Amino acid sequence: MSDKISHEDPETALRLIVAGPKDWRDPAVARLQTDERFVVVEEIEADINGVDIARVIAADVLVSTVDPQFAAPAIKLALALQNKIYPLSVVFVLPPMYRDELQNIEGYRSVWSLVATDTCEDAEMFAEAVWSASRGITWVDPAMYRRLNEVRAVSAHRSTPVAGFEE
C-alpha cells in the first residue's frame, strides 16, 4: 500500500495556494503536482494589493515567492490569509534578496518555512519542504539560515551605540 495520497481524493490531499507572478507559478505548480500528496486549489499574485482575500479558497499551505526588492506585500498577504484560514502553513520561496528586504522576513523564520530558489527547483526537496510545513515543522534551508543569521547579526550591530553616543 502506498503512503502517497492520490489527487483523486481531494478530501485527503493537501490543498495548496500558490502565490507569485504567473511565470514563477507555472513551473512551481508543475513541480508540486508531481507529488500526489498535493492538489493546487488556487493560484494568485503574491501581493496583498492584488488579491481579494475574501474570495481565496481555503487551503492547508500557502506556497509563495517574494519580490526580492519589496517583500512587504507578500508578507501582508500571508498574514491576511493566515488570519482568514486557520491553520494555514506558509512556505516562502526566497530569491536572492537585498539585506533590508531579507531583514523583513527574518522574524518569521520560526513560524514559516523559508526555502531558497534552488530548493524550489528540486521537485523532491520542494515537496518535502511543503509537506513538513503542513505538519507544523518549519523548514529553513541551511544557506538561508546562514543568510538570516547574518541579517540578525547586522541588525544587532546597528543597535549598538556608536562612539560618543550619550545615554
Q: pLDDT (tens digit, 9 = 90+) per residue, 124-161?
A: 999 999 999 999 999 898 888 888 888 776 655 444 44
Residue 28: name the closest of 97, 162, 123 by CA.
123
Are 19 and 46 in contact, with CB atoms under 8 Å apart? yes
List of E strands, the chain: 14-19, 38-44, 61-65, 89-94, 113-116
Q: Can you give the pLDDT at residue 82?
A: 96
What is the value of pTM for the model shown?
0.84
Distances (CA, A) of 51 to 34, 64, 92, 105: 27, 13, 17, 20
Domains and CATH numbers, the chain: 14-158 (3.40.50.2300)
Q: Rounded to whole angstroms, how far apart are CA atoms 19 and 96? A: 18
pLDDT tens digits, 21-32: 999 999 999 999
What φ, ψ does residue 62 adopt, rounded to 5°?
-100, 125
